[in-house]
Structure 1
Amino acid sequence: MIYCKATTMEVNMLKQRAKLAWLKGGDNCSKIFFQKITARRASQRVYQIQNEDGHLLTEYTVVTGEFVNYFKKLFGGSQRQPQNLDHLQTFARYLISEDEATLISSPVQRQEIKEALFDINEDSAPGPDGFSSGFFKASWAVTGDDVCRAVMEFFNGGRLLKQLNATLITLIPKNAFVRGRSISDNVLLAQELLSGYNQKKLPPRCTIKVDLQKAYDVVNWDYLLAVLRLFKFPNRFILWVEQCITTASFSISLNGNIHGFFSSTRGLRQGDPLSPYLFVLVMESLHLLIKSKTQTDDNFQFHWRCKELGIVNLCFADDLLLFCKADIYSVTVLHGILQEFKGTAGLHANAKKSQILFSKEAVQVQSQIQLILGFPQGTFPVCYLGVPLITSKLSLADCAPLILKIEARIAGWNQLKLTYAGRTQLIKSVLSSIHQYWCSVFILPKGVIKTIEAKLRNFLWKGGSERGGYKVSWEQVCKPTSHGGLGIRNIQMMNNALMGKYLWQVLTKKRDSIWVYWILKYKLKDGTLWAANDKDGSWTWKKLLKLRPHIIKGIQYRVGTGTDFKLWLDPWHPDGTLLHRYPHGPLITGLPMDSPLSTVIIGGTWQWPSEHHIDINGIITNLPDIHNGANDTIIWNSRSGIYSTEHAYTVFSNPSSAVEWAPLFYEKYDSTGRIQTGRWELNGQVKDGGDPIYGMQHTDRC
C-alpha cells in the first residue's frame, strides 16, 4: 500500500513536470516522463542571445542582465493620464446592462472561490511559491478558510497586496486567445474578400495585415480603464481590474533560475486568464474608432462587397486585417486611425512584419500606398491565424506547413518506446488536433489527406522503426470502438463534419456570425442555399456547396407558416427538392420558381392546385405535417435538434452495425485500445472483413 502510494505520488510529480496532457492511460512509464522532462529543459534553455545592437552575448550573467533590462524598458516608460472615450459610445454594439453590472460586481461567495480553485489543472505550473493547485485541493480542509478570507478581502476592500501579485516571465510562447471565440469566421470571411485578387476585372482593392508589436505588453492602463467605462462596467469592477494590473511585479525565469524584481507602468500579463478578455475589449474599442472615422466620412471608399455591412476590419486577438478600396484617401484615413490608436492605447504596428496585399487592378497606386503606411507589399499565400489565405484553390504546397508540423511532432516521439495503446492515444489527442484546425476552415485536398493518413498509419504500426507492416486496414482502425475499431477519426469525414456546420449556420441564418451575415447578403441574397451556384465564389465557398448532399442527410424541415421556405427550391418535402423531381412544375402550375411554401398553405392546411396538367399525387400523398401557429424551422436529426460535429461525423460516416459487447467493453476496460490491438495480433493480423491471413481462420466473436 505504501509503495503504491509513493509510486502514484512520483508519477503525478513527473507528469506535472513533463507536461504530457495527452497521456491519459496505457504508458505511465517513468522513462517516458524523464525523457520528456529532459527534452523540455533542453528546448527551453537559453545559452546565448543577440542584443539590440547586434552583439552576441554568451556570458550567463550578461545574458540575464540583458533580459532584465529589456523587460524593465518594455513594461515601463508610460505616464499615467486619465482618458475619455465616451464619444465612441454611439457606435458601440454592446453595453453592460444594469442587471449585468449588478451581477459582476456582486459579493463573491466561498463556493465560487472553491470552484474556481478546483477548476485549475493540477498539472499546471505552480506559482512563484512552488505550490500548485493540487496542494490546495489536497489540503483544502486546512487551507480553505485562509484562501477564502484572502480572496474575499480583495473583493470587499478593493486592495491587493503586491506580494500576492508577483509573477514570473518565462520565455515560452503564450496563448492569446479567448476560449469559446470562433476563429473560423475571420478566416472564412477574409478568404471570401480576397477572392479574385488575382483577376483584373474587379475594382482595385487592398488588404492591410497589421502586426501589433508586443501587443499585450504595451497596453496603456488608463486607456484600458477608459474602455471599461465606455462599455458601462461598474466602478467597483473597474477598481478590481485596476488593482490587478497595477500591482503586478515581475521576475525573469531563465534556465530554472529567477532574476530581477521590478514593477511595471503598462501592459497586461500574458498567462493571466483575465488578460485575453481585457485585450479583446481594447481591440473592440479600435473597431469603434474605425467605425467613427469611416462611416461618417463620405469620401472613404469601402472594400468591394463591404460597404453595405460596413466591414473595414477583422480582428482576432492581436491579428488585425484592414480592408478598403485601393485609393490614397481611404488608406490615409486608416493610417490616421492606426496612429491615433498608437497614441492613446499604446499599441502600434510592427512595420517589418506588417504587409499590404493588392489586387491586380491596384498596380498604379501600390508605391504611394506603401509610402503612406511604411509597410512592404505581401504576396499570396499569406499566413493569417495559422493558415494560408489564398486567391485560388488550396494546393499541396499551401498545406506544407501542416504536414511539416505533423512530421515534427512524430519525430519528437519516435525515440520513445511507446506501445500501440500509447501511440493510439497520441494520435487521438495530439496529432489529430493539429490537422483538425485546418479541417475546420478548409476542405483539405485529397492528396493532403492521403499524405497525413500515411504518416499517422506509419507511426501507429511502426513507431520510429522502418521495419514491420500494417497490421490492420486503416478503414478498420478508423471505425468507432463500438464497431471494433480504435476510434481514430477518418480525416475526410471529420473534415466534412467540421465544415458542414457552416452550411448549417447559413441554413439557420446564424446572425451573430459575420461570415454568415456576409454570405446571406452577397451570395444568397433572397435565395436559398440549395439553389446557390457552386461555380461562383471563392474556392472555399464552392467546396462548401459540394457538401450539400451530406448535410441533407441530417436535417429536417419543420413546416409552420411556410413563409420562410421555398416551395420548389427547399427540401421541405420527404422526397427532397420538388424542382429536381418536377423540373417543369413552376411552368405548368403557374407557381413561380421562387414561390414561398405558404402559397400552397391556406388556413393551416395544404391547398394544392388540382386543375393543372401535372401528376402531383406523389407530392400530396406524402406531405409533412403543418405546425399551425409556429414559424418555419430547420432542425438537425438529433436529440438536441442542433448541429454538432460529433453527430454529423456519425451521419456522414454511415457506420455499419455495432458489435453488441464492444461499447461496454471499451468504455470500461480498453479506452486506450491496448486490448483491441492485442486481439488483432492474436487473430493473425486480420484485415477488415474477416479474410484469413497466413492460412489462419478467425472469428470476430472473440
Structure 2
Amino acid sequence: MLDKELMKGNVSGAKVSIRSPALTHVMYADDIVLFSKATRHDARTLSTCLEKYCDWSGQSINRAKSSIFFSKHILAENRRAIKLEFGMRKLKKDAIYLGAPLFPTRSPSRDFKFLEDKLEAKLVGWRSRCLSWAGRATLIKTVAHSIPTYTLSAFNVPSNSCNKLDAATRQFWWKPKDRGSRYIAWASWDKLCRPKKFGGLGFKKTKEMNLALIAKFAWFVASNRQSLCMDVLRSKYKVNSGWLTANSVAIASPTWRAIEEAKKLVTKGGCFIIENGKSVQVWSDPWVPEAVNFMPQPKLEEYRKLTIKVSELIDPTTKSWISDWVKELFAPTDARAILNMSIPMSQKEDKLVWLPDSKGRFSVKSIHNVAFAHPDCARQNIQTRFNEIVKVSSSTTQHPKEIISKNWTPPPSGYIKLNVDAAIQQDSSSALAVVARNHLGEVLSIWAKKHHSSSPAIAEAEALYWTVNLAVKEGWKSVIFEGDAKNCLEPLINPDFPSDWLTHNIICNVRSLVVAFDFVKFCWVRRTCNSAAHVAAKFALKSDFEFRFNKGNLPPSLEAVCRDDSVACIPVLL
C-alpha cells in the first residue's frame, strides 16, 4: 500500500541524497519505521494506510509504545497536528531500540555504558558459583562475547568502552570471586586471545570484533551487494567502482567513518576476479591473486600515471590477454601471473572475492583471523592460505558413505567416455592427458601435452577445459567426462555447488562449451578408476612434445593400463 501511494504521489518518502531511493518504510520483525515529509497530507495518507492494514489483518497498533521523530526546522504547529493525527508522543532523544541508542550523543562512552552494565549483571551471578577454568572459558566465549555482538555490528563502539569490557572479562577469568580487586595475570591478554592452535584460549578482544563486524558492511559496499541499505549508503556517499582504494570522505557519520576505516581490513583478503575487466583499475584495484597486496607492479614507475582499466588489456575477439602489452606494462613476475589467469568466454561483471576462503565467501570469522593475527601466528598469512586452497582444490577426498566403483566402467553403447587428468611437478611444469574410449573399452584416442600451471587445481581445470574442446572438435555428440578432481567436477555435476575462485573462470568456459553436445554428463571417480589418464599425464611429463596416440600405436605402459581396464569393465546402461 505504501509503495502504491508513493507511486501516486500521495506520500513523499524520505531521501538521503538526490540519487537515493525514496524510503517510505523499514520493517524489522513486528516493528515498522515510517518515513515521510512532515506535512498534514502525508500524515493523513499514512494514517489511512495503517488503518486499512489493521482492518485487513486484524492486528492493531500499540500507540502507547509508538513514537514520532521530527527533523529540525519543523514548525510547532505542524508537529502538534501530526502527533494528533497519529495519536503518538514525540520520540525521546535517549530512546533505545534493539538494545542500542537510536541517537548517539557527543559522549560515546556514556552512550555505550549499557554494555558494561549488561556484562556486569551476568558476572554478578557467575561470581557466586564455583566454576572451573573450563567453565569460565565456556561462559566467556558463549555469553560474555555474545552480549555486545549486535551493538558491535551496528556502531563504532569507542575504544574506552571496549577496553572496559575486556577488563571486566579479564577480572572474571583470573579472580572470579571479587570485583575490582587486584589480581595476578599469569599470562597476557594478547596470549589468551590467540587461537588454540597457537597456544591461546581463543578469547576475542572487543575492539577487534567491533572492527571485524563493521568490515562486513565495507565488504557489502565494495562487492556491490544489492539491498536497500547498501543502495542508500552508496548514493549518499557517492560510492563508485574504485571506492575500495579511494580516500575517505571528509564529512560523514560516525558509522560511515568506521566503514571507511574497515576498508583496510577488506583489502587484506579481497581481490577482484576478472571477467570483463571494465570496473577494475589496473594500478589502484586488487586483481592479481599472486601479486603482493594483489596489485601488480609496473615495469617502469612512470607507468603508474597511466589510467588503464583491465578491460583494455583483453582482446575482445579472442577473449585473451594482449600478451605484448602485459609484458611491456608489468614487472616480469606479475606479467607471468597475469598471463596465467583465465578469462571467461561469456564475460560478466567483475566479482570481488575473499581469497582466504576457497569459495571466495566473506565471513567475519575469516577477516578477524586474517586482520588480527598475532605476530607469532602471522606465518599463516594470505599467501600460505593461498597455497592451502590450491592443495584443497586439487584434493580427491571422497565422502565416506559414498559407494563408488573401484574399476573403470565403460559408457553405454553409442556414447564416448573421456577420462581426464593432470600431473604437476615442483617446478610448476605440468602435463594434461585425455583418454577417449567407447562402450567396448576400446581406445579411440589418447591426447597429452605439456602445460605450465601455478597450481594442481588450475592444471586439473585446464585439463577438463581442453578435454571438452577436443570432444567438440571431434564432433562427438553424446559424451561422458570423467576425472578425479572433485572440486573441478562438482560445480559441473551440481549447478548449485559454488566453484572455487581459483578455477571459477575456467569452469565458466567449460559450461559455455557443453551446449554443443546432445548429451553430456560429468562424473567424479577415484584415482583407481582414472588410471589410464593418470599414466598418460605422467608419460607426457617425461616428453617434450604434444602427442596423440590411437589404438594401434600405444606405448607399452599405456597399452597395459588400458588393457587392464577393458578386462575389468562391464557394459552399463544409462
Give the TM-score range, shorter chain.
0.5 to 0.7
| TM-score for both structures, normalised by structure 2 | 0.57
User: 2:270, 2:352 within 8 Å by CA — same for their partners in 1?
Assistant: yes
Aligned AA for 2:158? P
1:533 Cα deviation from its structure 2 partner: 3.2
User: 2:15, 2:23 within 8 Å by CA — same for their partners in 1?
Assistant: no
Of residues 618-627 and 387-396 in structure 1, the stretch that sits farther from structure 2 once superposed is 618-627
> Does residue 652 of the first structure (1) align with residue 371 of the second (2)?
yes
The match for 1:237 is none
Report how many residues are paired. Answer: 362
User: 2:297, 2:334 within 8 Å by CA — same for their partners in 1?
Assistant: no
The match for 2:65 is 353
> Does residue 438 of the first structure (1) align with residue 145 of the second (2)?
no
Sort the Cα spacing of 1:658 and 1:527 in 2 relative to 1 into closer, same or farther, 3 A.
closer
Question: SS of 1:361's equivalent?
Answer: coil
Selected match of 2:51 from 333, 336, 339: 339
5 Å-filtered alignment, 1:66-215, equals none
Structure of higher RCO (CA pairs closer than 8 Å, 6+ residues apart): 1
State the Cα deviation string for residues 8-29 of structure 1 (Å, max 9, x = none).
Answer: xxxxxxxxxxxxxxxxxxxxxx
1:526 Cα deviation from its structure 2 partner: 3.9
Distance in 2 of aligned mates of 1:292 and 1:520: 25
Question: SS of 1:635's equivalent?
Answer: strand
1:503 Cα deviation from its structure 2 partner: 1.7
The match for 2:507 is none
Sort the Cα spacing of 1:393 and 1:543 in 2 relative to 1 into closer, same or farther, 3 A.
farther
Sort the Cα spacing of 1:544 and 1:584 in 2 relative to 1 into closer, same or farther, 3 A.
farther
1:534 Cα deviation from its structure 2 partner: 3.4
User: Is there any run of 5+ residues in structure 1 with no aligned partner, and where?
Assistant: 1-288, 660-702
Distance in 2 of aligned mates of 1:318 and 1:584: 59
User: 1:556, 1:572 within 8 Å by CA — same for their partners in 2?
Assistant: yes
Distance in 1 of aligned mates of 2:67 and 2:221: 32
The match for 1:420 is 133
User: 1:556, 1:635 within 8 Å by CA — same for their partners in 2?
Assistant: yes
5 Å-filtered alignment, 1:523-672, equals 523-530=237-244, 531=246, 533-573=248-288, 574-575=291-292, 589=306, 591=307, 596-603=309-316, 604-606=320-322, 617=331, 621=335, 624=338, 625-629=340-344, 630-631=347-348, 632-637=350-355, 638-657=357-376
1:372 Cα deviation from its structure 2 partner: 1.6
1:486 Cα deviation from its structure 2 partner: 1.4
Distance in 2 of aligned mates of 1:635 and 1:577: 12
Selected match of 1:515 from 221, 229, 234: 229
Selected match of 2:204 from 475, 483, 489: 489
Sort the Cα spacing of 1:444 and 1:606 in 2 relative to 1 into closer, same or farther, 3 A.
farther
Sort the Cα spacing of 1:417 and 1:506 in 2 relative to 1 into closer, same or farther, 3 A.
same
1:381 Cα deviation from its structure 2 partner: 4.2
Distance in 1 of aligned mates of 2:333 and 2:25: 48
Question: SS of 2:36's equivalent?
Answer: strand
The match for 1:301 is 12
User: 1:420, 1:461 within 8 Å by CA — same for their partners in 2?
Assistant: no
Q: How well do the aligned residues superpose, as a CA RMSD in angstroms?
A: 3.3
Question: SS of 2:60's equivalent?
Answer: coil
Distance in 1 of aligned mates of 2:285 and 2:147: 36
The match for 2:568 is none
The match for 1:463 is 176
Aligned AA for 1:343? D
5 Å-filtered alignment, 1:377-396, equals 377-390=90-103, 395-396=108-109
Selected match of 1:362 from 59, 74, 77: 74
The match for 1:327 is 39
Question: SS of 1:545's equivalent?
Answer: helix
State the Cα deviation string for residues 278-313 of structure 1 (Å, max 9, x = none).
Answer: xxxxxxxxxxx2222222x22421212388534211
1:404 Cα deviation from its structure 2 partner: 0.9
User: 2:192, 2:202 within 8 Å by CA — same for their partners in 1?
Assistant: yes
Question: SS of 1:634's equivalent?
Answer: strand
User: 1:319, 1:385 within 8 Å by CA — same for their partners in 2?
Assistant: no
User: 2:279, 2:309 within 8 Å by CA — same for their partners in 1?
Assistant: yes
Distance in 2 of aligned mates of 1:579 and 1:527: 18
Distance in 2 of aligned mates of 1:533 and 1:467: 43
Distance in 2 of aligned mates of 1:562 and 1:393: 44
Sort the Cα spacing of 1:338 and 1:299 in 2 relative to 1 into closer, same or farther, 3 A.
closer
1:472 Cα deviation from its structure 2 partner: 1.9
Distance in 1 of aligned mates of 2:257 and 2:337: 32
> Does residue 410 of the first structure (1) align with residue 93 of the second (2)?
no
1:454 Cα deviation from its structure 2 partner: 0.7
The match for 2:164 is 451
State the Cα deviation string for residues 599-629 of structure 1 (Å, max 9, x = none).
Answer: 333342147879xxx9865897476344222
User: 1:507, 1:529 within 8 Å by CA — same for their partners in 2?
Assistant: yes
Distance in 1 of aligned mates of 2:239 and 2:182: 57
Distance in 1 of aligned mates of 2:182 and 2:206: 25
Distance in 2 of aligned mates of 1:370 and 1:395: 30
Distance in 1 of aligned mates of 2:16 and 2:377: 49
| TM-score for both structures, normalised by structure 1 | 0.47
5 Å-filtered alignment, 1:212-231, equals none
Question: SS of 2:237's equivalent?
Answer: helix
State the Cα deviation string for residues 342-390 of structure 1 (Å, max 9, x = none).
Answer: 2222322222221111111324532222222121111334322221223
Question: SS of 1:324's equivalent?
Answer: coil
Distance in 1 of aligned mates of 2:60 and 2:110: 33
The match for 1:247 is none
Aligned AA for 2:38? A
Sort the Cα spacing of 1:580 and 1:544 in 2 relative to 1 into closer, same or farther, 3 A.
farther
Percent identity among equivalent residues?
A: 24
1:494 Cα deviation from its structure 2 partner: 1.9
Question: SS of 2:111's equivalent?
Answer: coil
